Amino acid sequence: MTTESKPGAPRIGVWQLAWPAVVTNLMQSTVGLIDVKVVGTLGADAVAAATAGHRLFFVLQAVLMAVSAGMTALAARAWGAGDREEASRVTQSSLMIGAGIGAAMGVIGFAVAEPFAEMLGLVGEPVHMAATFLRWISGFSIFFAVSFVLGVAMRAVGDTRTPLWIGAFTNVVNAFCLYLFVYGGLGFPSMGIAGAALAGGVAFAVGGVLSLWLWTARKLPIQPVRGDGLNNDRVRRLLRIGYPAAIEQFFVQAGFFTFTFIIARFYGAHALAAYGIGVQILSLSFVVGFGFSIAASTLVGQHLGAGDPKRAAASGWRALRLAMGSMTVLSIIIVGFAKPIAEMMIDDPEVVRLTVAFMYLLGAAQPLMAIEFALAGALRGAGDTRFPLITTFFGLIVGRVMLAIFFTSQGLPVEWIYGALMADYLLKGILLVNRFRSNKWQRVISARPLAGTATAE
C-alpha cells in the first residue's frame, strides 16, 4: 500500500521533517552556550542564578507542552485525514488557551521570584540575582506562549521550515541583545544578569509577534477560522489528551526542582553552576533528539489519521534509529573535548572539574535519552499521553530523585548525584520500548468528528 492511496497521508519522511527542527534546536543551543559564556564572565554565582531563574520559567514551557500534546495529536490526525479546517480550529483553540496561560505565568513569575530562588536552596547574592533574572524574563511570558503554540502547530501539520526561519531570526536578535544589554553599548547601560534575561525576553517578543503576524496574514498552512471559538467538545478532547501530559510535566518539574534543590542546598553554587553549564553544552546533542521527537509525533499522528497504523509504527522506529545514531555520535565528539569546552565557558577550576564529570555522565546517557525523545514523541503523536506520564514517574521520581536523596543521605560527593540520571533514562527506555512494541497506542483515541463543528463557508 502506498501513501498516494490515502489523500491526507503524509508524503514526507522522518528526516525531511526532522532536519529543520534539528537545525532550529542547534541554533538555540548555540545561543544558549553564548549566554552561558557571557553570564560566566560575571562569575559562578551568576551562572547558578541564571540556572535557577530558568528553572521556574521552564514551568511555563511545561504547562504549554501539556496543551500542545493534545493539539499535536488532534491537529496531526485531522491533517492526515484531509480535514484542514479542523486542524486550524484545534490550533486556534490551543492558541487562546496558551496565551491565557502565558499571561498568568508572567504574573506568577514576577510575584514568586525571590521565594522561589530561596526554595531552590540558594543563599546570599545568588538569590537576589536569580529573582532579578526571573522578574525580567517573566514579563515576556505571553510572547513565548504564542510563539511556542504556533510553532508546535506548524510542526504538527508538517511545516518545520517556517519555525526554522523564525528561530534563526530570533536567535540572532537574542545573541545581539545579549552582548548589548549585559555589557552595555549603543546608549544602553551595563545590566549584568538582568541584561541576559532581557535579551531572552526581547527574542521571545520578536518570535511571538512574527509568528502571530504570519498566522493572521494567512501565510501559514494553519490559518485563523471563523466560528465556534473555544468549542466545548474540542476543548474537552484537548484536555482529555493533554491532562496526562500536564500531570507528567508536574512530575518533571517537581523532579527537576528537587534535583536542583539537592545540588544547590547540599553542594553549593559551584555544583549548580556545573550542572547548568553541562546541560547547556550537551544540549547540542539532545536537542537533535528533540527534532526527531517532533518528526515522530507529526508522522505517527498523520499516518493514524490517514488510517495507516503500519506506517505510523515504522515512522516511530525510524525516528528512534536516527535519533540514537546522531545523538551517540555527537555526544562522543562533545565529551571528547569536555575539558577545553568547560574551560571556555567559565574561568573557575572547581566548576570546570565538576562540569567535566557531569558531561561524562550525561554523555553516556545520550542513547537512552534518544529512546525517550523518539518513542515518547511518537506516543504523544498518537494521543497516548498517559504512558509517558508513567515512565516519567518511575524514571525521574523513583529513579533519579530517590537515588539522589539516598546518595546525599550517605554523604557521597556530587558526582554520585549527577550519576543518578542514568537510572532515570534507563528505566524510561525499557518502559517506552515495550509500550511501542505492543501497538496499544494505536487505539488510544478515536478519529470521530467533533459534535457541532462548523462547516466551511
Give the per-residue pLDDT at 10: 56
Which pLDDT score is estimated for 446? 57
Question: How confident is the prediction along the chain (457 residues), in pLDDT tens digits per residue?
Answer: 333 435 455 556 677 777 777 777 777 777 777 777 777 777 777 777 777 767 666 666 677 777 777 777 788 778 877 888 888 888 888 888 888 888 888 888 778 777 777 776 666 777 777 788 888 888 888 898 898 889 888 887 778 788 888 888 888 888 888 878 878 777 777 777 778 888 888 898 999 999 999 998 888 888 888 766 667 777 777 778 777 877 887 788 788 888 888 888 888 878 888 888 888 788 778 778 888 888 888 888 888 888 888 998 999 999 999 999 989 998 898 888 888 988 888 778 888 899 999 889 888 888 999 999 999 989 988 888 889 889 988 998 888 889 999 999 999 998 999 989 889 999 999 999 999 999 888 887 654 444 434 332 2
**How much is the pLDDT for 307?**
84
Residue 320: the pLDDT is 93
Give the phi and the psi of residue 185 in degrees, each rounded to 5.
Answer: 150, 160
pLDDT score for 223: 83
Per residue in 112-151, is it b (16+ CB within 10 Å) or e — as a string? Answer: bbeebbebbbbeeebbbbbbbbbbbbbbbbbbbbbbbbbb
> Any long-range contacts for 403-407 (C-beta under 8 Å, 24+ apart)?
404/258, 404/259, 404/262, 405/258, 405/262
Q: What is the DSSP string of 140-205?
A: THHHHHHHHHHHHHHHHTT--HHHHHHHHHHHHHHHHHHHHHHH-BTTBPP-THHHHHHHHHHHHH
Q: Which pLDDT belongs to residue 103?
A: 87
Q: What is the pLDDT at residue 450?
A: 42
pLDDT of residue 57: 66
Spatial CA neighbour of 292 closest among 319, 316, 313: 319
Write down the pLDDT at residue 27: 75
